[in-house]
Structure 1
Amino acid sequence: MKSIATLAALSLLIIGQAHSQNRGAVSTQTKQTMNKENQGEQYTFQLSDRVTRQKVTFKNRYGILLAGDLYLPKDAAGKPMAALAISGPFGAVKEQSSGLYAQTMAERGFVALAFDPSYTGESGGEPRNVASPDINTEDFSAAVDFIGLQKNIDRSRIGIIGICGFAGMGLNAAAVDKRIKAVAVTSMYNMSRVMANGYYDALTPEQRTQTLEQLGEQRWKDAEKGSYAASTNHLPEKLTGNEPQFVVDYFDYYKTPRGFHPRSVNSNSSWTATNPWSFMNMPLLTYIKEISPRPVLIIAGEKAHSRYFSEDAYKAAAEPKQLVIIPGAVHVDLYDKRDVIPFDTLEAFFNKNLRSGSTAKANTKPTKGK
C-alpha cells in the first residue's frame, strides 16, 4: 500500500497547479550539452538500415496540422500492407519512444506512423503544451485518415499502439473509430482518471473541489494576462535523493541523454497550469467495451507504478482481450528498452489480427513474459 506522502507526491506531479510563470527545464548548460549530443535529426535512437523514414504532415478534424514520421520496411512488397499509427508517451515526441516503436514494427513488416499530438512537438495548435481527451483522441483517428490514404496500405488492416497516457487515448479512439481493427497499449495511464481522482483514486471529494477551485482561479489569472501560465509541477532539474522511485525513473529517461529531446514537454518544459481542466470530467474509457469484437492487447511492467491502470482497463474491456505483464519491468522500461518491450508479442498480435478478413480471437488469460 502506498504511503500518503507518496500518493500526494504522485498526484501533485500530475494534477498540481501553477503559482508562477516558472517553467520546469534542465539548466542552460545541461540543455546545451544534451542538444549537442542530439545534433542533426535529434532522435533518441539510430535509424535502422532496414527501414526508410519520411517526414509527413496531416490535419485532424479540428484543422490542426499534425507532424509525423512514416516508417516503411525497405523490403516491402508491392501489395497493400498492414499499417499502425503510434503515439505517446504523455509529454513525449515522435523522436522518442513512439518513433522507436514505429521503426521496430516497420522492421517487422508493417508500415508505421509515429506522430506528435496536437499542441506538442512539431505539430500545430496554440497555446503550446496542452493536452485534451477529445482532441488527442481525434489525433489517432486523423492518423488513421492519413495512413489509409496511402496507396500501399490496405485500409481494412490498420491498427494503433498507444504508449503511457496515449494508451488511454488510443483505447478511446478504438472505441469510437471502427476503422481501427486492433489496438495495443503499453505502460498505460488513464489520464482522465488520474487527473480527476489522483493516483490510486486517493483524491478526496474535498481535495477535488479544491483542485477545481484552484484551476478556476488560474483561469482568471490567465485571462487577465492574456497568456497561459506553465505548471510549476514538473521533473526536477536534478535529483536530491528523496524523490519517489517513479520520479527517478522518469528523470532517467527524460532528463538524460537516454531519452532527452528539446521538444519533449517532459524533457524541456511543462504542461500549462490548467491542463487538467478538460480531463477532470471527461472519462476516457466510458465506452471501452465497444472496442469489441476487435481485439485489445494491454502490456504493463510488473513493477510499474501505473500497472493498476492496465489491469483495470483489462477488466473493463470486453473480449477478445489480452493482458501481458512483463516480469521485473517498471513503467519507463517499456519506453525504450528493446530487450524488455515485447515486440515479438506485438508482432504476433498484429499479424494475427490485421490479416485480411481476420476474425481471430486474442488469448483471454493474463500472461507474464516477453
Structure 2
Amino acid sequence: MISGPFGAVKEQVAGLYAQTLAERGFVTLAFDPSFTGESGGVVRNVASPDIFTEDFSAAVDAIGLLPGVDRTRIGAIGICGLSGMALTAASADSRIKAVATSAMYDMSRSMSRAHQDSYTRAQRQQVIDYLSQQRWADAESGQPALGLHEVPFDEQGRIVKGTRVLPEKLPPEADPVLTAFFNYYRTRRGFHPRSINSTTAWTATTPMAFFGFPLAAHIDMIAPRPILLVTGDKAHSRYYSDDVYQAATGPKELLVVPDADHVDLYDNLARIPFDRLDTFFKQSLA
C-alpha cells in the first residue's frame, strides 16, 4: 500500500506509483490519509502523525482482506511526508514485511525544528506559543483557521502566516524548492482539486501534534525486516533519508538517484527507480 506526499491525494504521486507497480504484477492500494481527499473524517484538512500512521495499518487490514492476497507478503511505500508514517507504522505493525520510502520527509522533525533543524530554541517556543493561542481563537470561533504547517519567520524574526501552502502565482524571487513544488502542484502537470497542496492549506494548529509526536522513534523495531530509502542527489530533503539510514539497525539500503531533486521523484519516470522498487519488494516479500 502506498500514500503520500503530505498534502497530496492518491490521484497524484501515490497513484502513479501504485499503477506502475500494479503493471509489474503487484496488488497495490493507493490511499488518502484521514481527513484528506476522499477519505473520511472531520475536521477536514487536519494532519495527525498518530492517525496517519494508523492509516497504514488500516490499509494493511483492507488489502489483506482481498481474495488472492497473501497476508504474509505485504509491503508499504511512503512518499515524501508520509514516509515517516510508513516507517512508524512498520515499527509497530509486523504485518508490514518491507517498507520503502521515496523523497522522504519526517514531518515531525520538519514542523518542530524547520528545514535542516534551523529553528533556534527561542523560535521553537515562539511557534508553540503561536499554535497555543491559535487554539483559543479556533475554540472561540467554533471552526479551525487555516495556516502554514511549516511556520516560517521573516527577516525581523516574526512568524509569517498564510492560508495557502503554495501561492496563486509564483513570485519572481522564488527559490528552487518553492519553484519545484509550484511547478508540480499548481500547474497542469500535477494539479488536483482535492489536493491541499494544490488548492489550500492545513489547519493552522496542525503542527501542534507533530511537536508532541516524534515519528520513527522506534525504527530499530523494524529489523530484521528490510528498508529501502530512495532520495535524489539534489533533493533538499536528502538529509532525512541519510539520517534514517544511519538509525536503522536491520537490512537497509540508501538509493541516491543521480541528477534528481525532491520533486523529480514524484512523477519523473526517468528518475524514479521503479526497477529497484520492483526487485526490492519481490525479493523482500518472497
TM-score over 0.5 for the pair: yes
- Answer yes or no: is 1:208 the counterpart of 2:139: no
Identity of aligned residues (%): 59
Structure 2 SS opposite 1:338 = coil
Structure 2 SS opposite 1:111 = coil
Alignment match, 1:156: 72
Alignment match, 2:96: 180
- Answer yes or no: is 1:339 the counterpart of 2:261: no
Alignment match, 2:142: 226
- Answer yes or no: is 1:123 the counterpart of 2:54: no
Alignment of 1:123-142 (within 5 A): 123-142=39-58
- Answer yes or no: is 1:237 the counterpart of 2:168: yes
Task: Say which structure is richer in strand.
Answer: 1
Structure 2 SS opposite 1:155 = coil
Extract unaligned runs of 5+ from structure 2.
Answer: 148-161
Alignment match, 1:99: 15
TM-score by length of 2: 0.94
- Deviations 1:135-192, CA, capped at 9 Å, x for gaps: 0000000000010011110000000000000011100011000000000000000000
Alignment match, 1:60: none
Alignment match, 1:350: 281
Aligned partner (choices 54, 59, 75) of residue 143 of structure 1 = 59
Give 1:268's aligned amino acid: T
Structure 1 SS opposite 2:40 = coil
How many Å apart are 1:282 and its aligned residue? 1.1
Structure 1 SS opposite 2:134 = helix
Alignment match, 1:90: 6
Greater gyration radius = 1
Structure 1 SS opposite 2:44 = coil
Structure 2 SS opposite 1:91 = coil
Alignment match, 2:156: none
Count of aligned pairs between the two proteins: 271
Alignment match, 1:276: 207
Extract unaligned runs of 5+ from structure 1.
Answer: 1-84, 356-370
Distance 1:175 1:352 in 2: 20
How many Å apart are 1:121 and its aligned residue? 0.1
Give 1:96's aligned amino acid: Q
Structure 2 SS opposite 1:183 = strand
- Answer yes or no: is 1:198 the counterpart of 2:128: no
- Answer yes or no: is 1:313 the counterpart of 2:229: no
Structure 2 SS opposite 1:322 = strand
Aligned partner (choices 242, 249, 253) of residue 184 of structure 2 = 253
Structure 1 SS opposite 2:96 = coil
How many Å apart are 1:338 and its aligned residue? 1.0
Q: Does the CA-based 8 Å contact 2:185-2:197 persist in structure 1?
A: yes
TM-score by length of 1: 0.73
Give 2:113's aligned amino acid: N
Distance 2:105 2:40 in 1: 24
Structure 1 SS opposite 2:282 = helix
How many Å apart are 1:318 and its aligned residue? 1.1
Distance 2:21 2:235 in 1: 24
How many Å apart are 1:314 and its aligned residue? 0.6
How many Å apart are 1:252 and its aligned residue? 0.4
Alignment match, 2:225: 294
- Any runs of at least 4 consecutive aligned residues in structure 1 with deviations exceeding 6 A, and if so which? none
Q: Does the CA-based 8 Å contact 2:5-2:79 persist in structure 1?
A: yes
Q: Does the CA-based 8 Å contact 2:34-2:41 persist in structure 1?
A: yes
How many Å apart are 1:198 and its aligned residue? 1.0
Give 1:114's aligned amino acid: A
Give 1:333's aligned amino acid: D
How many Å apart are 1:90 and its aligned residue? 0.4
Distance 2:59 2:212 in 1: 26
